[in-house]
A = this chain, B = another copy of it.
């Protein structure tokens, strides 16, 4: 059946979490949020577009930084309340310059930085 972005389950603010994963390496890059219009724009354009909660505006990933995400495939979970985006990531996904936002690990009860900003 045709996919309708409004058939997803959004929270009280009309948002759904979206996990971005590198389609080639499997690395989890980041998690951000989408509303129904962001889902529709992402599917229509192939350019991953989130909803920025802090700026209350659409956020086409990389539109200013150049660190774009090209959508390879969108998937949804069994409850229809979370998205998994397989993406082709240009440059770092994280605003700190690291490939992934998940660069802090808990090891032996302490925080450990496991990656550094890309050159």
Contact = CB atoms under 8 A, between A and B. Distances in A.
Instruction: Tell me how many chains of this kind the complex includes.
Output: 2
A19 to B, nearest CB: 6
Most buried by B among A21, A73, A102, A107: A102
Interface residues of A, number: 37
B105 A78 contact: no
A31 B83 CA distance: 9
A119 interface: no
A63 to B, nearest CB: 19
Interface of A: 1-3, 17, 19, 21, 25-28, 30-31, 43, 73-79, 82, 84, 94-96, 98, 101-107, 109-111, 114
Given A3-B109, A17-B31, 18 more contacts: A1-B111, A3-B106, A19-B19, A28-B28, A31-B82, A73-B106, A73-B107, A74-B105, A75-B114, A76-B102, A76-B104, A76-B106, A76-B111, A78-B98, A78-B101, A78-B104, A79-B101, A82-B101
